[in-house]
Structure 1
């Protein structure tokens, strides 16, 4: 059941048609548009097909991305000249809100971050934050989804650079080793998510889906490596993915607990341990 505020008066078919028009004008795929408005692609698909109503916050984000009046989406106002994006806001206001939420969660933890803190970081009002994301739960879900999308994009870019499956696996290990500020920030958010996933059904589903995608990526790489002869013939791809994931999670938690210059040494040790594991259990002799 949807827990968001739903616009009961909205004519679903007409609203969906107008949203389709906005997506077409954006010139991107439906999945990419969902990413831009920080929306679950399956929810966008169901809303466009008429089996689910758009929520007020979703329409606000769609209007912001399309630079149009939300009233036009609802059919209550004629379409006017495109509105200008928020000054100096890269990607639009919703993505700015999500990016700043991720940064603040990484620095202070989700439960220590107030809407007023996010509004201050975005140089806007709390009312604007609530306009796009009515509650803290929706903000957390959006932040987690954004982190997942960013990680998936980086993963695809890294794999595209590799020459064979062994190189692909090395790239994945490098991607998950928290060396840079961005990597450490996303790991900090992910650690916060583990605790929240046990309490929130929506976040729990995202948590499970991310791990499913990640393990399948690793399993596919291992499968290819066995076929290429660079990995051991008897390696079980699913078991190898599960074991490597557990090692990465445990070692990354240790790295995140270390601060200052020692964090570089901890990251080096994590990378060395993961490389040794792959050498002794996955790589062909």
Structure 2
């Protein structure tokens, strides 16, 4: 993932990160360890002598509880190249520096990992308490019902994807390149993305039998759909993608991503992230990209020869 060029300026971004470090009571060394960054690189970035990479901003946002959008622009809802969460999918904003926020964050992180790895119905409150290093009473205080843990796990998914996309897509002007990266950022590659996909699949299954969960699911999925739609519409406006079909193509492309992702996660023989990427690129080449000017007769969908 490339370094990003924040619209708010490197100085402002560094200042916001410095403020988070100070309010959290971290030393630079400890904070660097928390986000898996060399201390010298963190020091240079905080001093404005180097730019935070996209992956570093995502790690900072995840550890502190803020969004990458806030780090870059000072606002969670700043408009960019990816859709902002709305409705029930909106997560609580703010850093995790207070005692209560830190405890809640640890519980949510533990629950998200356990649900993703073991399955929602196999995770007990006691398991979450043990993993978070707290008591079952503390779990019930922050999350009165076990069902709320799954809801918050889904909201956490939305935040992770939102942060990743804001950090990675911000400076990519070419809509085709941006669409390909948007897909790459959602492929089930690596532990975090596998866990995200696991949570999504479980929420799909629960929503199929529990109408009460569908509102949150719809709002969460809507953010992803709007992000794809925005990219397709930008490409159509620029003449890179076919015109007048952005919404239809967004439905087709997101459905294809869902289906292929489920096959990869299920370990279907002959499937994998690379195969998924190849099939998605093939769909984009055939259905999304505008036909080049001067295409030959063999490329004319009407089959009419021009003499």
TM-score relative to the length of structure 1: 0.66
Q: Indicate yes or no: 2:283 matched with 1:272.
A: no
| Matches for 1:1-285 after TM superposition, within 5 Å | 67=98, 85=99, 92-233=102-243, 235-258=244-267, 266-285=272-291
SS in 2 for 1:92: helix
Instruction: Return 5+ residue gaps in structure 1 as ranges.
Output: 1-25, 33-39, 46-60, 68-84
Shift of 1:111: 0.6
Shift of 1:100: 1.1
CA deviations over 1:5-55 (Å, ceiling 9, x no partner): xxxxxxxxxxxxxxxxxxxxx9988969xxxxxxx9868x9xxxxxxxxxx
The 8 Å contact of residues 215 and 238 in structure 1, kept in 2 or not, is answered as: no
CA RMSD of aligned residues (A): 3.1
The 8 Å contact of residues 86 and 219 in structure 2, kept in 1 or not, is answered as: no
Which residue in 2 is equivalent to 1:4?
none
Separation in structure 1 between the aligned mates of residue 131 and residue 202 of structure 2, nearest angstrom: 20
The 8 Å contact of residues 252 and 270 in structure 1, kept in 2 or not, is answered as: yes
How many matched pairs?
A: 211
Shift of 1:246: 0.6
Shift of 1:196: 1.2
The 8 Å contact of residues 232 and 241 in structure 2, kept in 1 or not, is answered as: yes
Query: Which runs of 4 or more aligned residues in structure 1 lie more than 3 Å from their structure 2 counterparts after TM superposition?
Result: 26-32, 40-43, 64-67, 199-202
Separation in structure 1 between the aligned mates of residue 220 and residue 282 of structure 2, nearest angstrom: 25
Instruction: Return 5+ residue gaps in structure 2 as ranges.
Output: 1-64, 78-84, 292-307
| Bigger mean CA deviation after superposition, 247-256 or 122-131 | 122-131
Separation in structure 2 between the aligned mates of residue 162 and residue 30 of structure 1, nearest angstrom: 21
The 8 Å contact of residues 147 and 186 in structure 1, kept in 2 or not, is answered as: yes
